[in-house]
Amino acid sequence: MAKRPGQAGQWVLPAAGTFIALSGVLAVAWIVNAFAESVFLGKLVTVLLALTLVAFAATLAAVVSLLVTTLKHQQQAAATGLHEQLLRRQSQLLESIHESVLVSDRAKAVAFREKEREALRRAIQEDITKGDWEAAYHLVDEMARAFGYHEEAERLRGEIDRQRAETLKAELAGEMGAFRENLSARNWEAARTEAERLMGMFPGNREVRDLGNRIQAAWDGHKRHLLTEFQQTIDRSQLDRGIELLKELDEYLTPGEAEGLREAARGVFRAKLHNLGVQFSIAVSEKNWDEAIAAGQQIIEEFPNSRMAQEVRDNIEALRDRASAAR
């Protein structure tokens, strides 16, 4: 360990004092010896000279040591100051680097969140394009939960709802064709089968849920139309059309409704049978055998249980023979 200047300087003053004292004694002894010319004094001067030289050397050595120590101390102090300055600069540099790393980490975190947010957006759009609605809704919920983008999540959820509704509407329109055709053709059973199929494909859809009501409304509407037209045929004596309507109405009428129309139906059938009987009789009287056979055959087919049909059966072979002979 190097000495401090104070430690080295404590020998300078004693050495210098000794040197000065010896120098004074030497001077006195020298002067006395010069006048007395004593051998003893001469030897004493020699000893004092030697001691004075030693004291001078010691003083000089102490001064040199003090100067060297002071210089070293100054150098050490300078080195210590430089070292402390370097340490301060290194500390500042490390602090700056640390702050830069923190800023970089924050920037990376922000950039990563933005990239992940963009990745979520792309994934949501892909699910929408594929029609994977449940996956799209799940990703939207994740965006709101993990990143806190509630407003954007709400906007995307609305977009999914709109796209889903449009897609389902287009799909439903494409699937409704067979149902509409059967409904227009009044093919009620086939329409009901299609309605059940559509309800399986689009559960919860309001339009699909209403298909049963549409079938019933169409059924009731057509039934009312048939009843109205039947009444008009009676008023206009359109017997053939009236019978056709009665046959068609048989599918729609309840037992009570059929009972209410029974008398009107009997009147139509009686009038029809009467007209056919008149046609048959006129054709026979005019010997128009082919026309008579046609009218008779119609009576047998349409009124098989009537007495007139039995009479026609009894005479139909004779009519055919006459028709053959007439040819």
Sequence spans of domains, the chain = 5-108, 131-170, 253-327
Tokens of 207: 């339009």
Model confidence at 186, pLDDT cuts 50, 70, 90, reads: very high
Q: Residue 177 and residue 160: Cα distance in Å, rounded?
A: 26
3-state secondary structure of 244: helix
Per-residue model confidence (pLDDT) at position 216? 94
Work out the angle at residue 146's Cα, subtended by the Cα atoms of residues 145 and 152, and round it to the nearest 5 degrees. 65
pLDDT tens-digit map of 19-34: 566 666 656 555 655 5
Model confidence at 213, pLDDT cuts 50, 70, 90, reads: very high
pLDDT tens-digit map of 280-300: 888 888 888 888 889 899 888
Per-residue model confidence (pLDDT) at position 309? 87
As separate numbers, helices (DSSP H) first and strands (DSSP E) second, the chain gives 13, 0
Per-residue model confidence (pLDDT) at position 282? 86
Per-residue model confidence (pLDDT) at position 93? 56
Rg (CA), the chain: 67
Which CATH code is given to the segment(s) 253-327?
Answer: 1.20.58
How far CA 17 is from CA of 7, 59, 200, 264, in Å, comes to 18, 9, 124, 165
The answer to whether residues 291 and 283 touch, using CB atoms and an 8 Å cutoff, is: yes
Question: Which residues are CB-contacts of 295 (< 8 A; sequence separation ≥ 6)?
Answer: 276, 279, 280, 283
pLDDT tens-digit map of 135-177: 988 988 888 887 788 888 899 899 999 988 888 888 888 889 9
Q: Is the pLDDT of residue 214 over 90?
A: yes
Per-residue model confidence (pLDDT) at position 108? 45
Q: Residue 127 and residue 139: Cα distance in Å, rounded?
A: 9
What do you get for the CA distance between the two ends of the chain, in Å? 160
- DSSP secondary structure code for residue 306 in this structure: S
The answer to whether residues 239 and 272 touch, using CB atoms and an 8 Å cutoff, is: yes
pLDDT averaged over the chain? 78
The answer to whether residues 272 and 240 touch, using CB atoms and an 8 Å cutoff, is: yes
Q: Between 246 and 43, whose confidence is greater?
A: 246
Question: Which residues are CB-contacts of 16 (< 8 A; sequence separation ≥ 6)?
Answer: 59, 62
Per-residue model confidence (pLDDT) at position 287? 86
Model confidence at 110, pLDDT cuts 50, 70, 90, reads: very low
Region 128-134 average pLDDT: 87
The pTM is what?
0.48
